[in-house]
Amino acid sequence: MRKIIRTKSFVNQLKNWQKYKIASEEDLKHYISKLRVITEIISAISCQPTFIGRKVNYRNSKNINYFLYQQHVIFFKLEENKMTLLYFIAAKRIKQKI
């Protein structure tokens, strides 16, 4: 199992998403359920010996992968001993093909 490292930008983006989305108790339950599923996906990826998934196709992105969950994109870098969570972005904000 790899060590999961969250970057400062990843944590800040999660906090901003929380501030923006939660207006009622229903929104809070929805936020928690989405966050729980995303956390389960991240832990499943970190336990796998190799991740056959989607790689970012930008020129400057070396070994950066991503996965989609509903309308959210999570970017991460997978190494032998650690998994670094880089960004958490709403998919509507991405206008180009990843």
- Predicted confidence (pLDDT) per residue in 62-79, tens digit: 888 898 888 888 999 988
- The pLDDT score that the predictor gives to residue 97 is 56
Most confident of 18-27, 49-58, 77-86: 77-86
Q: Taking 70 as the threshold, does the pLDDT of residue 92 lie above it?
A: no
pTM exceeding 0.85: no
- The pLDDT score that the predictor gives to residue 39 is 92
- The pLDDT score that the predictor gives to residue 98 is 53
In angstroms, the CA 21 to CA 24 distance is 9
CB atoms closer than 10 angstroms to residue 50: 6
Tokens 């958490």 -> residue: 88
- CA–CA distance from 71 to each of 38, 44, 83 (Å)? 12, 20, 22
